[in-house]
Amino acid sequence: MKLSSIRLLIPLLLLVELPLFESSYHNYPDALSKAIQFFEGQRSGFLPQDQRIAWRANSGLGDGSMRNIDLTGGYYDAGDNIKFGFPMAFTTTMLAWSVIEFGDSMPSGELRNTLVAIRWATDYLLKTVSQPERIFVQVGDPNLDHDCWERPEDMDTARTIYTVEAPNPASDVAGETAAALAASSMAFRSSDPGYSDTLLRNAIRVFQFADNYRGAYSDNSDIRDGVCPFYCDFDGYQDELLWGAAWLRRATQDDTYLDYIQNNGKTLGADENINEFGWDNKHAGINVLVSKEFLEGSVYYLESYKASADSFMCTLIPESSSSHIEYTPGGLIYKPGGSNLQHATTIAFLLLAYANYLARTSQAVNCGSISVGPTSLRQQAKRQVDYILGDNPMGMSYMVGYSDRYPQRIHHRGSSLPSIKDHPQFIACKEGSIYFNSSDPNPNVLVGAVVGGPGEDDSYDDDRVDFRKSEPTTYINAPFVGVLAYFVANPNDPS
């Protein structure tokens, strides 16, 4: 039976196997505002007068100078002072997708703030692709940077510039950059059509580079003992090519990209049905994004992507015979490896986006003996959101600055060191160690930062040293912006 013929059927008690906590009232508008504000704390470059996280100041103003190019701006992706192009591009894509998918749910002020956050990234990404067939993929030496604990305003480690140029491959970072620029072009289409056109033109050009020189950026570099001097794509570059093509199709409506997705799907691993979504692996996101073409655009030859998206959704449902996603005892999606909340926020985003596509076409997902509708997917997403905001065994919000109890000792240099505005004296590389090793709370609140999160047993020790749990990242927050926007407009959905 074709999936498209399945009528909407919503089991009411689909998630009873997961524990229930007495849910507190969550102020989703406040959480959304803080999630967006976090990005101001990650800014590199010359800060504007309306900067809200006031303990930050200008940094990285000489970035690019050693190659006679302006590479100022952009974001530090986590608690260090490196600008990694690959996760920054993914962050940008997810912020833009948040606007595209859920922008109508955002209060006007927060929509404006989100567009500002996107533009802080895209202005930088445009600089990184400003030279023909060359991409500047990173600024800063991570080995030197990670050996120091110093404020971005003080950093005196080498601002090494990493590049890739033809004919060397970089389909992973180039494909993601193309996706980021294409998605962002859609986000700016109504408010700034000229800027939107600039983003789209560059997206097309960068994608062509990605496709012409197929391979991973890490293939060009010396990786020893499994250690990368940057963000390596350990899951292959193929997914980024499909991801970039899918976003260019969405942004241009050009059938050429539909043909690319169809003709290259098998070669690029679309049939592998990998149930992952994050900066390193786009497969589940590709399937959800492309499924919109099948569900709403009646592009029937893309049905395999819809089938893979359905399969992914079924893995998230405890009652499904194909369920295999691990949950903590408290009900949080858990994947080993650290920075776990990146999985919870990206998966929650996909649940809500797919629920939207199903609802518009009155469809459900066939998970063997049960049928799963949009309400059930939204319920699953809401559980993850509410867990992060405080409905968990620790009774802790994992968003800094939200609620009465949140992590005080996050693994973040600028937050943990005295602000340059309070302590203008230079703090050298090793002089910051006293603050790193201190048991005192961080002096500066990085409002809105979502940390890596608790362990598989729901425990969280609030330890700055344990970076796997206590370090925030831009790619945790970016999908959470869209998720929170949905619940701002639908706070009681599902009831």
238-247 confidence digits (pLDDT tens): 899 999 999 9
| Rounded (5°) CA angle 301-304-307 | 130
For residue 219, indicate whether it is catalytic.
Answer: no
Residue 12's closest CA among 380, 490, 385, 375? 375
Contact 226, 160 (CB under 8 A): no
- Quote the pLDDT of residue 298: 86
Listed by start position, the domains of the chain span: 25-489
Q: CB atoms < 10 A from the CB of 394, how many? A: 16
User: What one-character-per-residue DSSP string does 201-242 give?
Assistant: HHHHHHHHHHHHT-S-GGGGS--BTTB-SS---TT-SHHHHH
Residue 469's closest CA among 320, 328, 265? 328
Instruction: Give me the catalytic one of 235, 386, 391, 471.
Output: 471
Q: What is the DSSP letter of 43?
A: B
Model confidence over 326-377: pLDDT tens digits? 999 999 999 988 899 999 999 999 999 999 999 999 999 999 889 999 999 9
Contact 105, 486 (CB under 8 A): yes
Q: What string of pLDDT tens digits covers the 495 residues of the chain?
A: 333 333 233 333 333 344 545 456 899 999 999 999 999 999 999 999 999 999 999 999 999 999 999 999 999 999 999 999 999 999 999 999 999 999 999 999 999 999 999 999 999 999 999 999 999 999 999 889 999 999 999 999 999 999 999 998 889 999 999 999 999 999 999 999 999 999 999 999 999 999 999 988 877 665 444 445 668 766 789 899 999 999 999 999 999 999 999 988 877 877 776 778 999 999 999 999 999 999 998 888 999 999 999 999 999 988 887 788 899 999 999 998 889 999 999 999 999 999 999 999 999 999 988 999 999 999 999 999 999 999 999 999 999 999 999 999 999 999 999 999 999 999 999 999 999 999 999 999 999 999 999 999 999 999 999 999 999 999 999 999 999 999 999 998 764
**Pairing state between β 161-165 and 134-139:** antiparallel
Instruction: Give me the catalytic one of 26, 283, 411, 412.
Output: 411
- Please determine, looking at this structure, whether the domain spanning 25-489 carries the CATH number 3.40.50.300: no
- Quote the pLDDT of residue 220: 66
Query: What is the per-residue burial (b if ≥16 Cβ within 10 Å, else e) of 82-95?
Result: bbbbbbbbbbbbbb
Contact 472, 16 (CB under 8 A): no
Query: What is the per-residue burial (b if ≥16 Cβ within 10 Å, else e) of 458-487?
Result: bebebebebbebbbbbbbbbbbbbbbbbbb
Instruction: Give me the catalytic one of 462, 463, 466, 493.
Output: 462
Bridge partner list, 161: 139
Dist. CA 163–CA 321, nearest whole Å: 46
Q: What is the DSSP letter of 273?
A: -
- Quote the pLDDT of residue 16: 36
Q: Retrieve residue 36's tokens.
A: 């967006």
For residue 431, indicate whether it is catalytic.
Answer: no
462-468, long-range: CB within 8 Å, 24+ apart, which pairs?
Answer: 462/407, 462/408, 462/409, 463/409, 464/409, 464/410, 464/411, 464/416, 464/436, 464/438, 465/411, 465/436, 465/437, 466/411, 467/79, 467/338, 467/411, 468/337, 468/338, 468/339
- Quote the pLDDT of residue 273: 65
Dist. CA 477–CA 479, nearest whole Å: 6
Looking from the CA of 326 toward its CB, the CA atoms found within 13 Å total 11
- Quote the pLDDT of residue 226: 46
- Quote the pLDDT of residue 3: 31
Residue 240's closest CA among 283, 304, 289, 197? 283
For residue 146, indicate whether it is catalytic.
Answer: no
Residue 231's closest CA among 71, 87, 412? 87
